[in-house]
Structure 1
Amino acid sequence: MSRILEYSSLETAVKWSKLPSPPGFANQASSTSKTSSKKSSSGSKTKDSFDEIKEKRAWDFATSPAKQLPMQAFMLYMSGGGVQIFSMGIVFMLLMSPFKAVFAMNEAFAQFAPSSAKNPKATSTLILQKLLYVVCNLLTLGVGLWKCRSMGLLPTGSGDWLAFETRWPAPEISLY
């Protein structure tokens, strides 16, 4: 004789009814009667807490480029100081990613907008988070420019600008 487990009858089974509910679990039958009376008072509370969670996630997203800096610095170190295709590819990626990120900033932060500002014509929100995001991307750009300078790709010395210097007439001109 085989026993068949019916999932539809688990909630009415005697041995399962004695188990306590898991943490954070609310029984749907009892919670609907409680929530219908509290719906008007707790609706704004949950909306505010949801907006607070979105704001925290926006701060995390704003600092994400700075969290990637150690890994990018390690990649630059491992690529070497010479001008090879691998090191140039890594430097190019490091220099282009901040520009792409800043130009797509509004689309990236749209998911973190407060529920009251879902209107696209609403005033810009999350100004501090966006400003921090731009600063963190500028740090990434700075690391990339530092690597270009250490590889000798940026014209920082006086010898790099010799083509633009003017020559004075030689002082030892003889008349004879």
Structure 2
Amino acid sequence: MPQTSLDYSSLESSSKWKNLPPPPGFTKSSSSLKTQSKKSAVSTASYDALKEKRAWDAAIGPAKSLPMQAFMLYMSGGGVQVFSIGIVFMLLLSPFKNIAGMNEAFAQYAPTSKPSNSIATLPLQKIVYILCNLLTLGVGLWKCRSMGLLPTGTGDWLAFETRGVAPEISLF
């Protein structure tokens, strides 16, 4: 079996890629530790800014899905059928599941420069996230009301009303 070897050293001198800048994070020598630490501080700050931007995107995510959910509610109809009840049930259940898993949803966006306290990190984004989920819950409750599933009329509460005393009693 013949042994083949390739020699790439001849390509280095005539390469058109020779004058390209090095990729991010690559250093040619260890004498540039000061510039590397300054660059890492800048990259950490920009990385935290990117994380904060992504956290805002995640915070308004439930509000972005509202038009599609409203269209699904419209297409399910106003009657009480299995399909429309299923869609309304999922619309009412998702905000509770989202709020319960909020800390896990925002854990990946926690800044690296601050201590990792899950409650205190990203408070504004979490408040907006809760408000968007409450908005989704409100749309679901509105649909329940329009379907007649919420007890809003006086006839819905007749079982809990008491009878008053009769104005007069007749013995004969």
Shorter-normalised TM-score: what interval? Answer: 0.7 to 0.9
Q: 1:168 aligns with which of 131, 140, 164?
A: 164
Q: Does 1:27 align with 2:26?
A: no
Q: Which has the higher helix share?
A: 1
- Residues in 2 aligned to 1:122 and 1:64: alpha-carbon distance in whole angstroms: 20
Q: How large is the Cα RMSD of the aligned pairs?
A: 2.8
Q: 2:74 aligns with which of 54, 73, 77?
A: 77
Q: CA deviation at 1:42?
A: 1.3
Aligned positions, number: 163
Bigger CA drift: 129-138 or 38-47? 38-47
Deviation per CA, 1:3-47: give whole Å up to 9, x if none: xxx8x95x92788x33698xxx7435xx52389622021111110
Query: Are the counterparts in 1 of residues 103 and 118 from structure 2 also a CA contact under 8 Å?
Result: no
Q: Which residue of 1 aligns with 2:136?
A: 140
Q: Which runs of 5+ in 1 are unaligned?
A: 1-5
Structural mapping, 1:15-94, within 5 Å: 17-18=15-16, 26-28=21-23, 32-33=27-28, 37=32, 38-94=35-91
Write the letter of the residue equivalent to 2:152: T
Q: Does 1:155 align with 2:155?
A: no
Q: Which runs of 5+ in 2 are unaligned?
A: 1-5
Q: CA deviation at 1:96?
A: 0.4
Query: Are the counterparts in 1 of residues 107 and 118 from structure 2 also a CA contact under 8 Å?
Result: no
- With structure 2 as the length reference, what TM-score do the two structures score? 0.83
- Residues in 2 aligned to 1:105 and 1:157: alpha-carbon distance in whole angstroms: 36
Q: Which residue of 2 aligns with 1:3?
A: none
1:32 aligned counterpart, secondary structure? coil
| CA distance 1:144–1:162, change in 2 (3 Å) | same
- Residues in 2 aligned to 1:142 and 1:20: alpha-carbon distance in whole angstroms: 61
Q: CA deviation at 1:124?
A: 1.7
| CA distance 1:35–1:106, change in 2 (3 Å) | farther
